[in-house]
């Protein structure tokens, strides 16, 4: 990746290539915290790292910050290699990476008042006291906490502490800001408020961001793109719609949103569809929705979202017939749990419809909505890569 | 992997601050390891081969069986007594409405304010069977009700007396540890038990006690360790009771035999080390068998037990106990120091400050001992705190590795052995070739620092651990170098811990007996050394005056520094704890 022929505006804020980091377990054995990650964040783009705890998302973020040392690979921030094991080894210490970061605990220094906390990144980067003062005031204004300059962290509410941490993260106008689950410590209402403010700030200031969270709602709202991490690997990288509508693997399908899935065995690949044998009979899945190179004999899962399926009372043309076990009223929709053979499907139904548990119902889902997924990250359906390949 | 290591090393060398920190930590580790290594080499390496036969020299100790029996019976019984008393006081203060107020808060500091030597001398002056002031007073009272005694009724110079004083002096340790355990035990667990229908007593035994098992285990370990290591109470009270204890015998083997019987002394000390190790293993076994889960520090309320009619009596007993155990011995010291003589009936007409003038001015040995001790304590505490702070910085900043863990363990290793073994190592390592520091103040300084460094390390560490990792990382991300991060973020937050550590070291070094008696000589006398020589052939008035002086200096220094530390810490501490609360809290979902 030669960056010399790109104009400055084209230089990605972050490039991570083939990054690996293994931890040795105390009881022996190793954990692959980061297992060959490739990732690029464009200028002004927010990429969210999403995954459950232990998937490597925080380790990846900390490796970019220089707080963890990867075993091998390359990290380039704004066109400058800050870590590299290919060729001449590069390892720039955290303090020289010119980044900003917002920590989960906010990490406000308790012995400094708000203005000192926020001025810190500027002062350490050689900004004169008088110049820093104006920038601090601007950052506090932008984060809506003007007037708190002289308060100490323990005198502030959780939400205010968070805004101070945010002000400190944006004050130096670093090209890349790292967010480590910054909203997980406040209550739901403040969180929603801060999320939209954060997006507003980002659109206005235009910094690029890497944002770690385990909350899929937050990921979908915040990220231009979402990287779903699975055991140290990027299982899928794409827009919220890509990840939800076209999950690349079984893991992604289940982690983001609810999924109906049942086991299938590929019988035949012909033309534009793949024929699979399942416990519920033969099912045809579009080839574009199936793993690349699917061949007869492969084991996979047929997957679809609850709202892609409908409940009908008309047996004609219905795909499956089953028994309604439970109906949960949720206002905007009702969630029906329908037993078909051994499988229990979750289906969205019209909340005003009167359905009685025990009733026989018919289910239908369009063939083009069916997807075939596997556990294999390297074999994903052609349409899932979306923007990920850019 | 190797390449990574080389790169880390290069990273290190780029920052002069980190080089200094690493150098200090390594020197500290070397200074801690050297005496222990010398002990090992001296005793267990013969002609280049490891040979444990010198352990057999323990049989040269005259009356070995009696010494071991005395030591273990006294330490076990006194530990049980101290544990019960400490647990009761802690429960009263933390979990009932019979709180102890300021006295309860002051409890953990008592051993620093009143050195064990002052307690030992004070109790002896009070309850010596014939000339004890307290005994004379009691006989007088009993005489009024028609009971006439020639001696007694209390005899502190006995097995029970020795056990009692040892227990009383160590109660603050068990109180401190168990209080902390109770504070960390979520009161909701007890409330749940009450809701389920268990009463106060049932709840205590079924929920509270199992919940603080960990702290009880630590308290037992601490009590046994300090009980076996203590020298001042056995030497003062044990000697007058003609009960020989292990610590006293070891010191005698080193100081009153020529040549010193190092082999026998170390072998005997190792008995104490092994005993502590056994308690430690038992504690780990018993605790790991139970189902434990760490209790979070979030939103805790402690269930307050209402004692109703029992409240006032309990409070009175507790406060009386604390006052009697700490104030009474001091009163007798004051009486003897002011009247100049120790007698059953104080000569009130003789009251003067003569004894204080004696030890401060007239008696040049005492005066120079005080001067030496003050100089050593000031320098030793300062050196110790700086070294401990930098060593902790080395161990806790940056990436934890096996190497930093090893350095940490080595620096704390002397704490595992008794002061006596470490001091023997200091003698072996520094008094002879190649350094020839014997009978100098330098060897005392080295000895004090090596012996007490682990204690300072633990104190400062607990305050440094409050500085969460993310506070440092945030500073690094903001562009600060490691020295900048230390000066601007870590140091300001650790200052209260440094001040407390300094006070601890100062008091320990000023009142030290064990290391002093082996390291000091007539030309390099220090307070502890002087106290013992006055005790064996001098005036009790001077003894009381000198002991009181130590107590007063210690109290003044500790109080002043705690005030300073609180003032500095007021802002940061509350803030730090709120940060810790935030960091420790589960993400709100």
**DSSP string computed for A372-390:** EE-S-TTS--GGG-GGGG-
Which residues in chain B have their CB less than 8 angstroms from residue A181's CB? 587
The contacts of residue B431 (CB under 8 Å, 6+ apart) are: B437, B438, B439, B443
Which residues in chain B have their CB less than 8 angstroms from residue A153's CB? 575, 578-579
The contacts of residue A4 (CB under 8 Å, 6+ apart) are: none
Question: HSE (CB half, 13 Å, CA atoms) of B201?
Answer: 0
Does A25 score more than 80 pLDDT?
no
Q: pLDDT tens, position by position, for chain B (589 residues)? A: 566 667 667 777 778 888 899 899 999 999 889 988 988 888 888 777 887 877 878 887 888 899 999 999 999 999 999 999 988 888 888 888 877 777 777 776 776 678 888 889 999 988 988 888 888 888 888 888 888 777 778 888 899 999 999 999 888 888 888 888 887 777 777 777 777 877 777 887 888 888 788 788 888 888 898 888 889 999 999 988 899 999 999 888 888 877 888 888 888 888 888 888 888 888 777 765 544 444 443 344 555 777 778 888 888 888 888 888 888 889 889 998 898 888 777 778 888 888 888 888 888 888 999 999 999 999 999 999 999 999 888 887 766 677 888 888 888 888 777 788 888 899 888 887 777 888 889 999 999 999 888 888 877 877 777 777 888 889 999 999 888 988 898 888 888 888 888 988 898 899 888 889 888 888 889 998 898 888 888 788 888 999 999 999 988 988 888 788 777 766 554 433 333 332 222 222 2
What tokens were used for B587? 């993400």
Strand (E) or helix (H) holding A234 = strand A233-238
- Give the distance from CA B107 to its chain's centroid: 14
Q: Give the separation between CA A74 and CA B480, rounded to whole angstroms.
A: 24
Question: HSE (CB half, 13 Å, CA atoms) of A139?
Answer: 28
Q: Give the separation between CA B307 and CA B327, rounded to whole angstroms.
A: 27
The alpha-carbon gap from B154 to the nearest alpha carbon of chain A, in Å, equals: 55
From A66, A152, A187, residue closest to B571, measured CB to CB: A152
**A-B Cβ pairs (cutoff 8 Å, strict):** 114
Could you report the per-residue pLDDT of B354-388, keeping only the tens digit for each?
Answer: 888 888 888 888 899 999 999 999 999 999 999 99
Could you tell me if B420 and B229 are in contact, meaning their C-beta atoms sit under 8 angstroms apart? Answer: yes
Put the strands of the sheet holding A273-278 in their side by side order: A281-286, A273-278, A260-270, A299-304, A371-373
Q: Is B521 helix (H, G, I), strand (E, B) or coil?
A: coil
- Give the distance from CA B87 to its chain's centroid: 18
Does A64 score more than 90 pLDDT?
yes
Could you tell me if B342 and B135 are in contact, meaning their C-beta atoms sit under 8 angstroms apart? Answer: no
Q: Give the separation between CA A239 and CA A241, rounded to whole angstroms.
A: 5
- Residue of chain A nearest B466, judged by CA positions: A110
φ, ψ at A311 (rounded to 5°): -100, 125
Does the beta-carbon distance from A69 to B8 stay under 8 Å? yes
Could you report the per-residue pLDDT of B161-177, keeping only the tens digit for each?
Answer: 999 999 998 888 888 88
Q: Going by DSSP bridges, is the β-strand pair A225-230/A176-180 parallel, antiparallel, or unpaired?
A: unpaired
Q: Going by DSSP bridges, is the β-strand pair A72-77/A80-84 parallel, antiparallel, or unpaired?
A: antiparallel
Find the length of chain B. Answer: 589
From first CA to last CA, the distance across chain B in angstroms is 40
From A94, A152, A184, residue closest to B575, measured CB to CB: A152
Q: Give the separation between CA B150 and CA B143, rounded to whole angstroms.
A: 11
Which residue matches tokens 């954060």? A198
Q: Give the separation between CA B491 and CA B485, rounded to whole angstroms.
A: 9
From B7, B14, B575, residue closest to A153, measured CB to CB: B575
- Give the distance from CA B74 to its chain's centroid: 19
Strand (E) or helix (H) holding A291 = none
- Residue of chain A nearest B469, judged by CA positions: A107
Q: Give the separation between CA B121 and CA B547, rounded to whole angstroms.
A: 8
Q: Is A335 helix (H, G, I), strand (E, B) or coil?
A: strand
Q: Give the separation between CA B518 and CA B251, rounded to whole angstroms.
A: 7
Q: Give the separation between CA B391 and CA B388, rounded to whole angstroms.
A: 5
Does the beta-carbon distance from B493 to A111 stay under 8 Å? yes
From B8, B471, B480, residue closest to A95, measured CB to CB: B480
Q: Give the separation between CA A309 and CA A311, rounded to whole angstroms.
A: 7
Does the beta-carbon distance from A109 to B484 stay under 8 Å? no
Q: Give the separation between CA B422 and CA B416, rounded to whole angstroms.
A: 10
Q: Give the separation between CA B193 and CA A331, rounded to whole angstroms.
A: 40
What tokens were used for A25? 């377990």
Which residues in chain A have their CB less than 8 angstroms from residue B477's CB? 65, 67, 94-95, 97, 99-101, 121, 178
Distances (CA, A) of B119 to A327, B236, B543, B556: 76, 10, 12, 18
Which residues in chain A have their CB less than 8 angstroms from residue B471's CB? 107, 109
ipTM: 0.81
Does the beta-carbon distance from B7 to A186 stay under 8 Å? no
- Residue of chain B nearest A118, judged by CA positions: B478
Which residues in chain A have their CB less than 8 angstroms from residue B479's CB? 95-96, 98, 121, 124-125, 172
Which residue matches tokens 């139970």? B290
From first CA to last CA, the distance across chain A in angstroms is 13
User: Which residues of B lie closer than 8 Å to A, measured between beta carbons?
Assistant: 3-4, 7-8, 11, 14, 399, 468, 470-471, 473-481, 484, 488-489, 492-493, 571-572, 574-576, 578-579, 582-583, 585, 587-589
Tell me which DSSP letter residue A36 carries.
E
Distances (CA, A) of B284 to B134, B215, B273, B280, B294: 43, 12, 17, 6, 16
Could you tell me if B226 and B525 are in contact, meaning their C-beta atoms sit under 8 angstroms apart? Answer: no
User: Which of B318, B317, B123, B316 is CA-nearest to residue B238?
Assistant: B123
Q: Give the separation between CA B449 and CA B465, rounded to whole angstroms.
A: 22
User: Which of B167, B178, B168 is CA-nearest to residue B76?
Assistant: B167
Which residues in chain A have their CB less than 8 angstroms from residue B569's CB? none
User: Which of B42, B538, B44, B513 is CA-nearest to residue B251?
Assistant: B513
Does the beta-carbon distance from A121 to B399 stay under 8 Å? no
| Burial category of B122 from C-beta neighbours within 10 Å (exposed 0-12, middle 13-18, buried 19 and up) | buried
Does the beta-carbon distance from B582 to A105 stay under 8 Å? yes
Q: Give the separation between CA A275 and CA A284, rounded to whole angstroms.
A: 5
Q: Please tell me the predicted confidence (pLDDT) of residue A388.
A: 39
Could you tell me if A210 and A179 are in contact, meaning their C-beta atoms sit under 8 angstroms apart? Answer: yes
Degrees, nearest 5: CA angle B309-B313-B319: 145
Does the beta-carbon distance from B4 to A99 stay under 8 Å? no
Does the beta-carbon distance from A71 to B4 stay under 8 Å? yes
- Residue of chain A nearest B398, judged by CA positions: A67
The contacts of residue A216 (CB under 8 Å, 6+ apart) are: A50, A255, A256, A257
| Burial category of B236 from C-beta neighbours within 10 Å (exposed 0-12, middle 13-18, buried 19 and up) | buried
Q: Give the separation between CA B82 and CA B567, rounded to whole angstroms.
A: 33
The contacts of residue A28 (CB under 8 Å, 6+ apart) are: none
Does the beta-carbon distance from B476 to A94 stay under 8 Å? yes
Could you tell me if A174 and A101 are in contact, meaning their C-beta atoms sit under 8 angstroms apart? Answer: no
């Amino acid at each position: 990746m030669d960056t010399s022929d790109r104009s400055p505006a084209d230089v990605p804020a972050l490039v991570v290539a083939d990054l690996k980091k293994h931890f040795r377990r105390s009881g022996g054995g190793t954990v692959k915290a980061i297992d060959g990650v490739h990732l690029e964040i464009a200028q002004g783009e927010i990429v969210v790292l999403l995954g459950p705890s232990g998937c490597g998302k925080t380790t990846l973020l900390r490796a970019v910050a220089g707080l963890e040392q990867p075993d091998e690979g390359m990290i380039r921030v704004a066109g400058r290699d800050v870590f590299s094991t290919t060729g001449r080894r590069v390892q720039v210490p955290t303090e020289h990476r010119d980044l900003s970061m917002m920590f989960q605990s906010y990490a406000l220094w308790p012995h400094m008042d708000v203005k000192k906390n926020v001025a810190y990144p500027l002062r350490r980067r050689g900004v004169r006291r008088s110049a820093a003062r104006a920038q601090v005031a601007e950052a506090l204004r932008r984060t809506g906490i003007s007037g708190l300059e002289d308060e100490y962290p323990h005198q502030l509410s959780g939400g205010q502490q968070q805004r101070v941490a945010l002000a400190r993260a944006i004050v130096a106008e670093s090209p890349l800001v790292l967010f480590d689950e910054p909203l997980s410590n406040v209550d739901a209402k403040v969180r929603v408020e801060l999320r939209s403010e954060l997006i507003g700030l980002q659109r206005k200031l235009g910094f690029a961001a890497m944002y770690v969270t385990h909350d899929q709602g937050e990921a979908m709202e915040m990220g231009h793109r979402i990287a779903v991490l699975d055991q140290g690997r990027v299982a899928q990288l794409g827009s919220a719609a890509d990840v939800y509508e076209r999950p690349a693997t079984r893991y992604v399908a289940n982690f983001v949103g609810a999924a109906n899935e049942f086991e299938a065995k590929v019988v035949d690949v012909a033309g534009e569809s793949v024929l699979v044998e399942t416990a519920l009979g033969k099912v045809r899945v579009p080839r574009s929705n199936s793993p690349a190179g699917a061949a007869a004999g492969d084991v996979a899962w047929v997957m679809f979202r609850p709202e892609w399926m409908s409940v009908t009372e008309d047996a004609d043309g219905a795909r499956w017939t089953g028994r309604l076990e439970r109906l949960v009223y949720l206002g905007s929709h009702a969630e029906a749990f329908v037993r078909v053979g051994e499988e229990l499907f979750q289906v969205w139904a019209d909340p005003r419809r009167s359905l009685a548990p025990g009733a026989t119902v018919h289910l239908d889902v369009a063939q083009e909505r069916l997807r075939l997924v596997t556990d294999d990250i390297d074999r994903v359906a052609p349409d899932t890569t979306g923007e990920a390949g850019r | 992997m190797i390449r990574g290591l080389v790169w880390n090393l290069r990273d290190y060398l780029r920052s002069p601050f980190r080089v200094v920190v690493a150098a200090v930590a390594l020197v500290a580790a070397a200074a801690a390891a050297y005496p222990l290594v010398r002990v090992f080499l001296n005793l267990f390496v013969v002609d280049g081969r490891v040979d444990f036969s010198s352990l057999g020299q323990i049989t040269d100790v005259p009356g070995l069986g009696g010494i071991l029996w005395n030591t273990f019976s006294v330490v076990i019984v006194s530990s049980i007594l101290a544990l019960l008393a400490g647990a009761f006081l802690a429960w009263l203060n933390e979990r009932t409405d019979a709180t102890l107020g300021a006295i309860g808060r002051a409890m953990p500091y008592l051993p620093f304010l009143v050195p064990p030597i002052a307690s030992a001398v004070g109790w002896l002056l009070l309850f010596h069977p014939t000339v004890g002031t307290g005994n004379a007073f009691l006989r007088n009272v009993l005489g009024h009700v028609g009971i006439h005694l020639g001696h007694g009724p209390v005899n502190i110079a006995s097995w029970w007396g020795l056990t009692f004083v040892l227990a009383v002096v160590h109660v603050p340790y068990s109180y401190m540890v168990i209080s902390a355990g109770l504070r960390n035990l979520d009161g909701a667990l007890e409330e749940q038990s009450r809701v389920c229908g268990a009463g106060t007593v049932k709840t205590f035994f079924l929920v509270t006690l199992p919940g603080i098992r960990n702290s009880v285990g630590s308290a037992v370990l601490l009590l046994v360790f300090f009980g076996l290591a203590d020298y001042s109470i056995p030497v003062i009270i044990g000697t007058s009771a003609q009960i020989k204890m292990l610590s006293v015998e070891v010191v005698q083997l080193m100081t009153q035999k020529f040549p010193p019987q190092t082999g026998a002394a170390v072998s005997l000390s190792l008995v104490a080390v092994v005993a502590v190790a056994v308690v430690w293993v038992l504690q780990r076994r018993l605790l790991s068998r139970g189902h434990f889960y760490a209790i979070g520090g979030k939103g805790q309320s402690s269930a307050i037990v209402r004692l109703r009619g029992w409240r006032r009596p309990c409070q009175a007993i507790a406060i009386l106990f604390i006052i009697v155990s700490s104030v009474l011995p001091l009163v007798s010291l004051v009486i003897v120091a002011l009247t100049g003589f120790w007698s059953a009936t104080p000569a009130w007409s003789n009251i003067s400050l003569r004894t204080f003038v004696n030890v401060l001015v007239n008696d040049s040995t005492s005066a120079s001992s005080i001067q030496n001790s003050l100089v050593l304590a000031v320098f030793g505490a300062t050196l110790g705190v700086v070294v401990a702070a930098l060593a902790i910085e080395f161990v806790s900043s940056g990436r934890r590795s096996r190497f930093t863990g090893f350095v940490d363990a080595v620096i704390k290793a002397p704490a595992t052995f008794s002061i006596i073994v470490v001091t023997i190592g200091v003698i072996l390592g520094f008094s002879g070739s190649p350094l020839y520091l014997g009978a100098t103040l330098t060897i005392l300084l080295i000895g004090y620092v090596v012996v007490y460094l682990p204690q300072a390390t633990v104190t400062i560490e607990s305050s440094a651990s409050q500085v969460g990792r993310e506070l440092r990382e945030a500073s690094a991300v903001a562009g600060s170098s490691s020295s900048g991060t230390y000066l601007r973020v870590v140091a300001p937050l650790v200052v209260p811990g440094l001040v407390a550590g300094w006070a601890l070291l100062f008091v320990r070094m000023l009142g030290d007996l064990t290391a002093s008696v082996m390291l000091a000589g007539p030309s390099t006398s220090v307070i502890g050394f002087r106290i013992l020589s006055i005790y064996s052939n001098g005036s009790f008035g001077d003894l009381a005056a000198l002991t009181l002086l130590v107590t007063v200096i210690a109290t003044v220094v500790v109080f002043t520094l705690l005030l300073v530390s609180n003032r500095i810490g007021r802002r940061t501490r509350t803030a730090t704890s709120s940060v810790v609360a935030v960091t420790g809290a589960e993400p709100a979902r």
